């Protein structure tokens, strides 16, 4: 005797597929049908005056966070949390902060300041020329 899927099974399978597609890459930042385009080397991200000392700024489209841990020292990291791939959304109190599960990363080196993330944010290459900060 062969069993047909019940209405409940069909709805659950459809819902799971929709959820998987909807949450896709980076914790739900899905642009249906369009691929994400990362900025190329040489693209100016900001002016040095745009990045606060002891803080930073997130560049969502370029998928990078630029920080200034000390006056005149600029660092850059991926804006994708190493815990479950959510995009970080703020820089405050000396940390880069992920809203999904509370992970925090140090602005000086991207190391984990508060779990559940276990790996640091990957460093990104930038160049500072005059008062211009560019992707390397």
> Any residues with CB less than 8 A from the CB of 63 and at least 6 apart, and which?
36, 38, 78, 79, 80, 87
List the single range of 9-18, 20-29, 84-93 with lowest mean pLDDT.
20-29
**Each residue of 41-60: pLDDT tens digit?**
788 999 999 999 999 999 99
CATH entry 3.30.1330.10 includes domain 44-135:
no
The answer to whether 112 and 118 have CB atoms below 8 angstroms apart is: yes
Between strands 132-135 and 64-70, the pairing is: unpaired
Per-residue pLDDT at 22 exceeds 90: no
How many Cα neighbours within 13 Å face the side chain of 6?
3
Q: Is the pLDDT of residue 71 over 60?
A: yes
The pLDDT assigned to 21 comes to 38
pLDDT digit string, tens, across residues 88-121: 999 999 999 999 999 999 999 999 999 999 999 9
> Given a cut of 90, is residue 34 above it in pLDDT?
no
**Structural domain spans, the chain:** 44-135
Distance CA 100, CA 54 (A): 23
* Beta strand extents in the chain (DSSP E only): 44-47, 55-59, 64-70, 73-78, 90-92, 95-97, 104-106, 112-114, 126-129, 132-135
């Amino acid at each position: 005797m062969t069993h047909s899927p019940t209405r409940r099974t069909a709805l659950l399978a459809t819902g799971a597929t929709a959820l998987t597609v909807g949450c896709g890459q980076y914790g739900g930042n899905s642009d249906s049908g369009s691929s994400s385009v990362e900025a190329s080397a040489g693209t100016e991200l900001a002016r040095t005056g745009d990045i606060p000392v002891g803080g930073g700024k997130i560049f969502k489209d370029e998928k990078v966070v630029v920080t200034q841990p000390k006056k005149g020292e600029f660092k850059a990291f991926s804006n994708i949390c190493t815990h479950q791939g959510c995009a970080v959304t703020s820089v405050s109190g000396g940390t880069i902060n992920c809203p999904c599960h509370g992970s925090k990363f140090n602005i000086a080196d991207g190391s984990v300041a508060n779990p559940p993330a276990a790996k640091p944010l990957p460093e990104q290459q930038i160049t500072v020329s005059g008062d211009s900060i560019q992707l390397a």
